[in-house]
Structure 1
Amino acid sequence: MSTPVAAALVRSRYLLLGASPYRDAGGVEAWFGFVTRTASLVRFGRTAHDALRTGDLSGLEPAELERLAGLGVLVDREENELAAVTGRLRAGSARRQTRAVTIMPTSYCNMACDYCGQEHRKAAHDARRMDRTARRVEAMIADPETSAVKVTWFGGEPLLALRVIREMSARFTSAADRHGTAYSARMATNGSLLTVRTLEELHLDWRLTSMELTIDGPEAVHNRRRIMRNSRGTFRRTVEVLGEVVRRGRVPGLDIRIRVNIDNGNEDHVTDLLDDLACLGLADRQVRIQLSPVHSWGNDVSAVELQANAYAGREARWLRTAEALGLYFVALPGSTVSTTCIATSRSGEIIDTAGRIYSCSEHPLVPGVRDTQVVAEVADLTGAAPRPAGAFDDWYDQVDSGGAQCARCPILPVCGGSCPKLWRDGHLPCPSLRFNWEERLDIEVRRRGWIPVATAPRDLLAGAVR
């Protein structure tokens, strides 16, 4: 007979329940699941696993029911979990304590990758406009309501404007020290202009804590896809710089992320690239591998992009290869997202070289929307005032109304919907986790010393959606 407690509880729609049993070194058997609402891995005994799989909780002891409820595995039958998740996302997006600013010191790029939908232009440096941008960020830093400011250097290729980055960074770090505001920076770069000295300066002097660069394959493949305008290859030089700083500990606090953009032109070379990265000294926790399918950036990539399910299956195999080689990657998210992206929070904005403010990073360099999606001019905003609303600040209304598949998706708490712009453009932006979560779960469980007992039938993705 079901207890009153059991009758009041149901399995969370945000539980990904693994199907396969594992054993530890002592012979203890267990099953595992991942609760996306708390981004936590949870272990179960056979009885609990069977109860969660069938939905019949009557055989579970009160103490076990309490444990599972405390972990978010079970929730009150009357709770609207979707509303709770989107409510937390709304609250995170509304917070003003942390300001995120993406700054484009240049809109030009020294590469001409054929899958890129950006349009890059050379323009003379305008000191007056950059001063206005710097003063806006300084005002955010000085605002008593601000506890932290995070700047992202973006382009084009931001290192083409290293002098501008130096000048603005000096102002930002000085202001942060004066006002006791936390300040950090990150950068998205193609890696072609990196040197050991530049990385040391950016990290040690200008508080760069995270850098993402793109390597698209082994040397010949990368140099063909990531085409320099002067036709020179960049693979060897880039990985040698990375290997040097990692091996010698030159930038110990810098999180280095290697992004691999994957489509049908390089999917057969990913394994070779992983082998090369390991051999070149990048099998280190400081370097994170991030495999990413090519998607539309305002351009038509339908001829080269990979279908989501097919990509996810291949990615799972690549991740196992990376694991065997000692390369570091995130198998399962370690935290939930507080906001979907910069476009869903008025505490975040993108400022281009002309001082125009956008809400979405896919607007400033894309023909058409570059002119129609400007939300403000830096010169028109007073002090640290948040940017005006952009095209995607109503994203959670769309999710709540069921207007996006995200309303029914069990990974919403760790994904947030990925990219509202792609959804509205008619593209599927779901991360691969949506399709290969069980393989990722297996990798994470094995990392913790558990060994699979046998292969079991695949469980349903997340049970019935309420």
Structure 2
Amino acid sequence: MLDFDTPNSVDADEAHGAPSNEALEAAARRTLARVRGPARPAAARYRLSRYDIPVRLADESALLFNARTRSLILLSAAEARAYRDLAGRDDFGPGDLADRLLLQALIGGGHAVGAASDELALVRQSYEASRAAKGSLTLTIAPTMACNFACGYCFQGLAKPTKKMTPDVQDAILDFVKAKKDLKSLSIVWYGGEPLMGKDSIFRLSDRLIAYCDKNRIGYSAGIVSNAWFLTAEMAAQLYTRRVKWVQVTIDGDRDTHDRMRPLTSGGRTFDRILENIEQALDETAIAIQARVNVGISNVARADAMLDDFAARRLGERGNFGVYFAPIEASTPESGSAFAEKLSRAEFNRQVLALEGKARQLGFSGIQTPPSGFSGLCVAASNGGYVVAGNGDVHKCWETAHDPSKRTGSIFEPDKLHDSVNASLWSQWTPFDNATCTDCKILPLCGGFCAHRFIYAAPEETALPCPSWKWNTAEYVFARARDLGVVRDDQWLASEATVEAKQSGERQSPASLRASQARVLEKVSGLHGRSFDRGQLFAGEAALERAQGTGQETVPGKVRGTVQGKVTEPVAS
């Protein structure tokens, strides 16, 4: 038994490299010192953790990963057989396992827990505490929803408003931050549209927020999601001065593929200018750039060539450039070509394994690492996160920021942000209302992953929430062990492929998402004392409800009115 990756057992992650033999031996000594602690009572009863994920290897040894503790240990063939024997028992005691060190290692890594332990309750308690944590505030701010690109699969659609954020909205955002009296940290994400088309708002508001935070000893950090067309070296320097430390840029393949999928609104090419801007920004600032590659049917075959292009430009040698892959999905009705472009999740995750492996080899990503917390606790699910559109509308998710009917309130009325029906949809959603989530072995890593996919679930499979760790569980566990130098490629057992073996349990389906959505609507209906159904949800029911109290003109299934002096577009029925 080798306990090589229980938290604090090996410091390899900090060095982003495989541990030396000395480090592994030191880890083993620390493990033995820990597991040889006070003897457990002879009458103690245990059971294997519900969050254990064993991965069999070709030589009959096994990797054992626990999603709650993030512990990863290597079992010999004999230890793997002993573990499988325990898996067939409801509970067991010290006398049921001859290898005392193995038992203590299982206990120490959270692989074996008290027979009466309620791990699901512990995970839920941790999730709710994280969700309700005070002292931090995350604002995703869209200074404009305008964009100079015409990406056919964009979930915002191509008919974007061109107005920019006004000074009164900026003032209201600053007032909103100042009203948080116990604030310890503020995190800003600049978003759009293309946020750099509203650069003046970014500069002005950044300067004011930073000055306030510095004066009051509040931590401040920022990043930006940009298409990089305007990300010149000078622009990168201006952003970095304003503590924008990272940029997410979408690049969808090699030159011809990217230019076809992400052209200018005029039809012009974009790839060369984006890459030139990235190279100059990396060379002249310390800003980190993460390339997001949206993978679909028409570009998956060219992603490999894109990585070769990045390598030829020596981007991996700069130390502040990375790559990750995401599926093209139809997450909103406005998603255009995404409906025809999307791969099945099984095929996407099969393809992405090879791409991620090559990206690691080329220096574009580090050791395969499980999420350190609930990856589903984004701005949408967190109590301390909001999205602010350029007109002052407040949302919980940036995937609704383009749709006024799904706003949760207005930055001009901060005391009412939690009162609307739309706000209740987010506050009442929890992964613990979904049976697929509660039965899932990676729930402690995931936390539902994407609340939007549950709340606005479509009848057909357009966008499923399960992350890559769900689809590639065994492969990622093996990759981590391999990256740490503990296993070799020839030890991989093909029959352990997650698509077939489903080591972490069943995945979400349109049916399971609809059941979760129905539960949310049931809770919201009870909270507001009126019945809401799925049809009203997509027709902009909250907008209709607001219209009743604001005198907006309404027609069946549609609403037209004003939000802070701006005429809103009809909400489709």
TM-score interval (norm. to shorter):
0.7 to 0.9
Candidates 145, 169, 172, aligned match of 1:132: 172
Within-5 A mapping of 1:16-165: 16-20=53-57, 31-54=62-85, 55=87, 58-119=96-157, 120-140=160-180, 143=181, 145-165=182-202
Confirm or deny that 1:228 pairs with 2:264: yes
Confirm or deny that 1:430 pairs with 2:470: no
Structure 1 length-normalised TM: 0.87
Q: CA deviation at 1:115?
A: 0.5
Candidates 280, 286, 291, aligned match of 2:313: 280
Aligned to 1:454: 491
Q: CA deviation at 1:85?
A: 1.3
Conserved? CA contact 1:422–1:428, under 8 Å: yes
Aligned to 2:303: 270
Instruction: Indicate the structure (1 or 2) with the bigger Cα radius of gyration.
Output: 2
What CA deviation, in whole Å up to 9, does each residue of 1:134-186 have, x standing for no partner?
A: 3223433xx2x211110110111101111110000000111111000101011
- Distance in 2 between residues matched to 1:10 and 1:328, nearest whole Å: 37
Aligned to 1:421: 452
Look up the SS of the partner of 1:79 in the other structure: coil
Conserved? CA contact 1:342–1:359, under 8 Å: yes
Pairwise CA RMSD of aligned residues? 2.6
Q: CA deviation at 1:43?
A: 3.2
Structure 1 residues 136 and 435, CA gap change in structure 2 (3 angstroms): same
Confirm or deny that 1:375 pairs with 2:412: no
Structure 1 residues 275 and 127, CA gap change in structure 2 (3 angstroms): same
Q: CA deviation at 1:265?
A: 1.4
Confirm or deny that 1:257 pairs with 2:290: yes
Q: CA deviation at 1:4?
A: 7.2
Structure 1 residues 155 and 40, CA gap change in structure 2 (3 angstroms): farther
- Distance in 2 between residues matched to 1:315 and 1:390, nearest whole Å: 36
What CA deviation, in whole Å up to 9, does each residue of 1:207-260 have, x standing for no partner?
A: 1122211000001111110121133322122222322343x3x333x3321100
Aligned to 2:400: 363
- Distance in 1 between residues matched to 2:321 and 2:98, nearest whole Å: 43
- Distance in 1 between residues matched to 2:204 and 2:84, nearest whole Å: 58
What CA deviation, in whole Å up to 9, does each residue of 1:3-53 have, x standing for no partner?
A: 97697222222222221268xxxxxx9643332213343333334333333
Q: Look up the equivalent residue of 1:8 and give its one-letter code.
A: R
- Distance in 2 between residues matched to 1:184 and 1:124, nearest whole Å: 23
Look up the SS of the partner of 1:239 in the other structure: helix
Q: CA deviation at 1:312?
A: 1.0
Structure 1 residues 283 and 390, CA gap change in structure 2 (3 angstroms): farther
User: Can you give the 5+ residue segments of structure 1 that lack an aligned partner in the other structure?
Assistant: 23-28
Structure 1 residues 442 and 5, CA gap change in structure 2 (3 angstroms): farther
Percent identical among aligned pairs is 26
Aligned to 1:310: 347
- Distance in 2 between residues matched to 1:312 and 1:377, nearest whole Å: 39
Q: Look up the equivalent residue of 1:95 and give its one-letter code.
A: A
Tell me which of the two structures has the higher relative contact order, counting C-alpha pairs closer than 8 angstroms and 6 or more residues apart.
Answer: 1
Confirm or deny that 1:295 pairs with 2:329: yes
Q: Look up the equivalent residue of 1:379 and give its one-letter code.
A: F
Structure 2 length-normalised TM: 0.72
Structure 1 residues 276 and 312, CA gap change in structure 2 (3 angstroms): same
- Distance in 2 between residues matched to 1:167 and 1:280, nearest whole Å: 34
- Distance in 2 between residues matched to 1:260 and 1:5, nearest whole Å: 55
Confirm or deny that 1:14 pairs with 2:56: no
Conserved? CA contact 2:53–2:65, under 8 Å: yes
- Distance in 1 between residues matched to 2:290 and 2:418, nearest whole Å: 29
Confirm or deny that 1:244 pairs with 2:284: no
- Distance in 2 between residues matched to 1:40 and 1:112, nearest whole Å: 45
Conserved? CA contact 2:143–2:164, under 8 Å: no
Structure 1 residues 448 and 126, CA gap change in structure 2 (3 angstroms): same
After the TM superposition, which of the residue ranges 425-434 and 150-159 deviates more from structure 2?
A: 425-434
Look up the SS of the partner of 1:410 in the other structure: coil
Aligned to 1:26: none
Q: CA deviation at 1:350?
A: 0.7
Aligned to 1:185: 222
What CA deviation, in whole Å up to 9, does each residue of 1:277-324 have, x standing for no partner?
A: 111122144222110001123125332211111111111111222233
Look up the SS of the partner of 1:210 in the other structure: strand
Structure 1 residues 4 and 463, CA gap change in structure 2 (3 angstroms): farther
Q: Look up the equivalent residue of 2:125 and give its one-letter code.
A: G
- Distance in 2 between residues matched to 1:304 and 1:60, nearest whole Å: 55
What CA deviation, in whole Å up to 9, does each residue of 1:347-379 have, x standing for no partner?
A: 1111111111111221121xxxx2332222111
Look up the SS of the partner of 2:273 in the other structure: helix
Confirm or deny that 1:407 pairs with 2:444: no
Structure 1 residues 268 and 351, CA gap change in structure 2 (3 angstroms): same
